[in-house]
Amino acid sequence: MRVDNRAAGQLRPVKITRNFTSYAEGSVLIECGNTKVICTASVDDKVPRFLKGTRQGWVTAEYSLLPRSTQTRVSREAAKGKQTGRTVEIQRLIGRALRAVVDMEALGERVITLDCDVIQADGGTRTASITGAYVAMVDAVDKIFGGYGKFPVTDFLAAISVGIGEEGPITDLCYVEDSAAVVDMNVIRTGAGNLVEVQGTGEHGTFTRKELNELLDLAEAATDELMAIQRETLGDLANKVGKVYETSTGDGE
């Protein structure tokens, strides 16, 4: 029996609220059980030097835990003057994941920054950040999309943590389960069913090929479910993902 009575492959309740704050081009609150993350997507037309003249864009991410998002207060990184190794690792992962479903030429010379600020942490904050940031990013891209040519977001994308607990493989580990898990794996997958990233770690043990495959089976089911929720949340906007709009051919243009 899991700590919150879920079945092995069962997600915690997921809720994605769009337009959570007012100023960002995309702003989402994603809640996966008690894990809650504010994900905003900001568009900046001033690109860094390495992009100038390339006609290509970039997607980058930053991640942070609010000091009291956790059971025990963690030090504020701005006050310490340094991001922890964990933070750096997570924000590199988020950026890399989302770039996998963005066509940088279609995006044009702009930078999209995804800010994932965890206001409450109960396990799976990095995967919730990716799943939520995806929705914020689609909203932001839609605001700058001219209406013809390729929509810069090319596919759906969701992430989930799976792991091997005391009674075998389980999906969407909460903090208590995560602390006890022998193996912990984060899987990121696209709407087309392909893998973008697989990070499996034997935190308190090792794992076999067979176990790896069982975990991937759980992850596939979970990410399919999460992408269905993303699709529903986005409504009509979901249809633009991956689409190419014919260039207008009307007279005089």
- 76 assigned to a ligand binding site: no
| Residue 86 is assigned to a ligand binding site | yes
Please report how close the Cβ of residue 154 comes to a second copy at its closest, in angstroms: 11
Residue 182 near a second copy by CB under 8 A: no
- In this structure, the number of other CB atoms found within 10 A of the CB of residue 176 comes to 14
Query: And the tokens for 80?
Result: 């310490």
Whose structure tokens read 């997600």?
11
List of residues 6+ apart from 208 with CB closer than 8 A: none
Q: How do beta strands 26-32 and 35-44 pair?
A: antiparallel
Among 117, 178, 214, 224, binds a second copy (CB under 8 A): 117
Range 197-236, binding a second copy (CB under 8 A): 197-203, 205-209, 212, 216
Based on CB atoms, which residue is closest to a second copy, 10 or 87? 87
Closest CB to a second copy among 95 and 165? Answer: 95
Whether the CB-CB separation of 197 and 175 falls below 8 Å is answered with no
Q: Which residues contact 20 (CB under 8 A, 6 or more apart)?
A: 27, 28, 29, 38
Q: What count of residues does the chain have?
A: 253
Residue pointed to by tokens 């399919």: 224
Q: Tell me how far, at minimum, the Cβ of 55 lies from a second copy, in Å.
A: 18
**Residue from the set 15, 92, 143, 243 that interacts with a second copy by CB under 8 A:** 92
Part in contact with a second copy (CB under 8 A); list of ranges 18-26, 47-55, 231-239, 245-253: 18-26
Residue 44 interacts with a second copy (CB under 8 A)?
A: yes
Among 103, 120, 178, 229, binds a second copy (CB under 8 A): 120
Pairing, β 58-65 against β 35-44: unpaired
Q: Are strands 26-32 and 244-245 parallel, antiparallel or unpaired?
A: unpaired
Phi, psi for 95 (deg, rounded to 5): -60, -45
| Comparison of 46 and 147: residue with beta carbon closer to a second copy | 46
Answer yes or no whether residue 103 interacts with a second copy by CB under 8 A: no
Token pair in block for residue 223: 């990410």
For 70-101, give the secondary structure using H, E and C: CCCCCCCHHHHCCCCHHHHHHHHHHHHHHHCC
Q: Specify the residue, 208 or 249, whose C-beta has the smaller distance to a second copy.
A: 208
Using CB under 8 A as the binding rule, whether residue 17 contacts a second copy is answered as no
Please indicate if the annotation marks 209 as binding a ligand: no
Interface pick for a second copy out of 2, 12, 36, 110 (rule CB under 8 A): 36
Residues binding a second copy (CB under 8 A): 21-24, 27, 34, 36, 38, 40, 42, 44, 62, 64, 66-71, 73, 76-79, 81-83, 85-89, 91-92, 96, 100, 113, 115, 117, 119-120, 185, 190, 192-203, 205-209, 212, 216
